[in-house]
Structure 1
Amino acid sequence: MKWNDKDWVSEDQEFLPKRRVDNKISWQMPHIIGSFYSNKMNRVVEYHSLNECLFFFLLELDSSTVRYYVQPINIGIQFFDDQGNTKGWSHVPDVLVFKNGFVPLLYQIKEKGGPTTTTFEKCNFHCENYSNARGWHYSVVYPKVLPKAVQANIKFLEGFIKKRRNADKWIPEIIARLSQLRTESIINLASDFSHRIDPLHILPIIYHLIATGVFSFNLNERITEYTEISCFPFHTQFSMLFHDEEVMK
C-alpha cells in the first residue's frame, strides 16, 4: 500500500496518544523517559524506554515509513477472576506505523529476555485479534538486539535528519562530487571543499545526506569521519532492519 498521498487529518485525531508518559511505576520497573522533536511527524514524540527511543529513531530514518503514532489506541482486555466476576483493563500498544508497501503495522516494543507473563500473553492475543479485525499486522519488536554498531549509527544519524541552514547551497555540489569519485571517506569528501569553506561546515551536510538515504555506507560498522560512503541509495538498509527475525517476532 502507498501512503504518501494521504492528508492524515482523521488519523491525527483518532490516534492521539492514549496515555501519559511518566515515571509513576519506575520504583518497581525502572525506565528512562524523554521526548524528541519528530521531523517526520512535525511534533514532539515521547518515549518511556530506551527501546522505544531507539525504535522511534529508526522510524525517523526509514524513508519508507510515512507516518507513525505512539500509544495510538486503547484495547479492552477482559477476564474472569477466581470468583467468576468479569474484570478488565485497557491496554495501550506502543506504536502504529504507516509504511509504504505494507498494511498498517501495530507494534509492542519490548526488552529481549524479559519475563513472559500471563498479562503479556493476554495483551499479545488481544492486540493480534484487534489488528486482524482492522486489516493491520501486529508484531512484538526488540530493538536492542540490533548490533551495537547499528544502534550507535541510528542514534547518531537521527540528529542529522533536519537540514542545516545553507545546506541547499552545497548539497548539489557534494552529490556531484561523490558521484564523480564513486566512493570516498567522509572526511576526504568534506576536505575537497576546503579551498572555499571550512570542511567542518561540510561534515553535517554529508551526515544529513546519509541520514536521508542519499549516500550509503556499511550500516554494520560504526560511522566515523573515515567511513567510506557512496552515492548508491541507502534507504533500503534501514527498511531491512524491520525484517530481521531477531528484532521482529
Structure 2
Amino acid sequence: MKGKTVLVTGGASGIGLAITKRFAKAGAQVVFWDNNAHTGNSVQNELQLLGYDTIFDTCDVSKQLEVRSAISRIDSPVDILVNNAGVSHVGNLESTTEEDFDRLYQVNIKGVYNCAQAVIPSMKTRGGVILNMASIVSEVGIPDRFAYSMTKGAVLTMTLSIACDYVDHHIRCNCISPARIHTPFVDNFIGKNYPGQEKEMFDKLSKTQPIGRMGTPDEVASLAFYLCSDEASFITGSNFPVDGGFIKLKP
C-alpha cells in the first residue's frame, strides 16, 4: 500500500475508522471523510500521533458539489475508494416516512454514486479499486429494515454494474456485506431502545449470528484491505459476506 492514496468515506468511526487505521498502518496515504468535523479532527490528531499519513476532510457524501470540492483538495489521484459512509433505519413499509426514505437514499445510494463518479475519470487512466459497503440485507430479508434493505440492494447492483463497465480500464469493484458488527452505533441503539436491558439485548442480538457473536470492525477492515490489495487482483464484481454464517447457516 505504500505510495497509494486511499479515500475512506465515513472513515472517522466504527467500521470506517477500522478501515482507515488498517490502510494507514500499511503505509498508505489515507484521506478519510466524515460529516462530523469534531469527531474527524479528533481522530486525525490521534492518527498523526501514531505517525500515520492521514488527512481528514469534512464532507457530506450526499451532496455532489461537496464531494467534487473535497476530491479537488486531494493532492494525489485516488487509487482506492472505500464507500463506507451510510445511515441505518428501523421500520417496515408502513412505518417508513417519505423523509426517512429520502434520507437513506441520499446517503446510502447517492453517496456511493457521487463518490464513485468523482474518482472514475482519474482511475480510467491508471486503474484502481472501488470497494462498497453493502449488507447482508442485500441478499436476505430481515424484519423492519425496508428502507435500509432498499439502499443496500442498490449498493450491491451498483457494484456489479461498475465492475462490468470498467473492467477494461483495469478498475476492480467489489462489495462487502456485514451482518451485525459491534460498533458504538450498536451500543447506542441498545441503550436508547432497551434501557436497563442492555446486557440481555446485547446477548440476544449477538446470538442472531450462527457463530454466536457479533463481528468486529477490525474483521471487516481486514477483508477490505485484502480486496483492495494487489493480492486480490483477480477479484471483481463480487460480494463478500462477513456474517458469522447468517446468510447460509441461519435456520
Query: TM-score, normalization: structure 2?
Result: 0.26
More helix by share: 2
TM-score by length of 1: 0.26
| Max Rg structure | 1
